[in-house]
Amino acid sequence: MNKLALEEYKIEEYLDYDDPTTLKAQQIAVEEVRSKFGKTYPLIINGHETKGEKGVFESINPSNTKETIGKFQLASSLQAETALESAWTAFRTWQYVPAEERAGILLRAAEIARRRRMEINAWQVAESGHNYREADAQVAEGIDFLNYYAHEALRYDKGMDVLDARGEINRTIYIPLGAGVSISPWNFPFAIAAGMAAGPIAAGNTIVAKPSPDTPMMCWLVHEIFREAGLPEGVFNFITGDNEEIGDTLTGSTKTRFINFTGSLAVGQHISQIAAEPQNGQNFVKRVFVELGGKNAIVVDADADLEAASTAIVQSAYGYQGQKCSACSRAIIVDEVYDVIAEMVAAKTKSLQVGNAKDNIIVGPVINQKAVDKTMSYIEIGKGEGKLVVGGRKAESPDPGHYIEPTIFSEVDPDARIAQEEIFGPVLSLIRAKDTDNAIQIANNTRYGLTGGYFSSDPGNIDKALREFHVGNLYINRKCTGALVGAQPFGGFNLSGTDSKAGGRDYLMCFLQAKSLTEKPLEGDKTVLERFRYGK
């Protein structure tokens, strides 16, 4: 099974919405999902549906704030601790389930997600404001995570290659850590929720999953898929509630062996600080994996394909309204082509339509009112730091949603606040550079280091960028968003996080520990290690 499964992994293809049949099917799914708005969903602790002890909260449609996606539970700290206890109880047996069985469950989950793809897309359009293509790309990525980590579980099950020495038999195996916490964000609410749970689970761990209060429905769907795939009770526990109360309880608990977090820099640093404080009764050092923000740049050199570069800048800056940690928020352009690129980017941006995600508009809403307020405050700052070229206002719409016009500031100083601080909205700064060296220097002049793009046709300059542009994911002559599982392991440097490289061959190692086994054979006897297996 190992060889067959490893040979079969391939990246999931996106749906073609230029095909009228596919488009119509997605529109039907969107309407079907809308008919299910307003239902109430429980916590899932050890496989049991449970009401929150603190009441309920509503998930609101950012495209139309009069619409409630669903009602979700406000768990108490005690319920969060109970979920961790349930995860440890499940771990007692799950850790010994053979890798083939764990992988089989993940592969079934991938098939279920593929079968429910239109429905999952539709829920994401409603709850997080993605257009059809952006939603589908995420669901495809979630399917990839499930498939890829299933294959990786089989690979790690082979252990580490070691030598027998001095008459002793040696093996080094990888064993899981225990029960951990997965705190997923609202901007990639299905793909990241699925991937952040699937990796640890594939490695033999158990999880308490807490999604963002803005997008709990997407994590609920992950729970449904795992349940249908046959994941045992308690291996995946679903908890919703207040970020501070529940988040601090889960990350600070002595029962939490590891923390897997994707979100903002401030919250990531807070979690790291809490996790670093040893608690009474804690008998391990917590592992913490945080994937945070970015201030990503696309550099355009003088000999670049200007049409391709300008298109990539607009796609990277305004895909999902700039609410990607990988989004381009700085376009650093060599002086020789600055004016031409600035004009092309402005023209392409002005053509973008803003509107309700259910209608598959290219630019939808930002996630909530807090995001509106933050983005508009940075736009006001930008008016004093650069020249407002495009946008700069809340967008008009017949629906009461969180709409902001795609915005461009030109002639921005590299040290300006809008060029240094993460905005996480549809705001782009155009920065003029003297030459290639100056452009790369400006690109690196940030406390982040997540993604970057470089456009040039000069092999020597491309080589320089490959060596000196300091980001976790660097793309040459393409946009700086859209990493693919198994092809472009994702994670960043500096304050962009711990660079755990989700979707790569090192990722499962985050949730495993190596155990070295040595046996001195008794004379004339075969050793236990020759037939030893960690699983059942």
Half-sphere exposure of 397 (CA within 13 A, CB side): 24
Main-chain dihedrals φ then ψ at residue 181, nearest 5 degrees = -120, 135
Catalytic residue among 127, 134, 325, 480: 325
With a cut of 90, say whether residue 535 has pLDDT above it.
no
Cβ neighbours around 355 below 10 Å, total: 21
Residue pLDDT, tens place only, 141-151: 999 999 999 99
Tell me what pLDDT residue 319 has. 97
Tell me what pLDDT residue 176 has. 98
Residue pLDDT, tens place only, 223-236: 999 999 999 999 99
How, if at all, do strands 43-45 and 48-50 pair? Answer: antiparallel
Mean pLDDT of 151-162: 96
Our measurement of the distance from residue 494's CA atom to the centroid of its chain's CA atoms, rounded to an integer in Å, reads 18
Mean pLDDT of 239-263: 95
480 has catalytic annotation: no
Of 511, 422, 57, the C-alpha closest to 245 is 57
Tell me what pLDDT residue 169 has. 93
Residue pLDDT, tens place only, 104-154: 999 999 999 999 999 999 999 999 999 999 999 999 999 999 999 999 999
Mean pLDDT of 291-306: 97
Residue pLDDT, tens place only, 368-399: 999 999 999 999 999 999 999 999 999 999 99
Tell me what pLDDT residue 530 has. 79
Token digits of residue 289 = 């994996």
- Is the separation of the CB atoms in 79 and 239 below 8 Å? yes
Q: Residue 477 to residues 130, 301, 331, 342, 534: CA-CA distances in angstroms?
A: 25, 10, 13, 17, 46
With a cut of 90, say whether residue 420 has pLDDT above it.
yes
Q: What is the DSSP letter of 210?
A: E
Cα separation, 512 vs 489, in Å, equals 18
Of 160, 187, 188, 186, the C-alpha closest to 174 is 160
With a cut of 80, say whether residue 326 has pLDDT above it.
yes
Our measurement of the distance from residue 496's CA atom to the centroid of its chain's CA atoms, rounded to an integer in Å, reads 13
510 has catalytic annotation: no
- Is the separation of the CB atoms in 258 and 201 below 8 Å? no
SS3 435: coil
Of 273, 350, 340, the C-alpha closest to 301 is 340
Give the Cα-Cα-Cα angle 343, 346, 350 (nearest 5 degrees). 140
What are the CB-based long-range contacts (under 8 Å, 24+) for 456-459? 456/301, 456/303, 456/304, 457/303, 457/304, 457/305, 458/301, 458/303
pLDDT band at 7 (very low <50, low <70, confident <90, very high): low
Catalytic residue among 291, 328, 405, 480: 291
Tell me what pLDDT residue 4 has. 39
SS3 103: helix
With a cut of 60, say whether residue 3 has pLDDT above it.
no
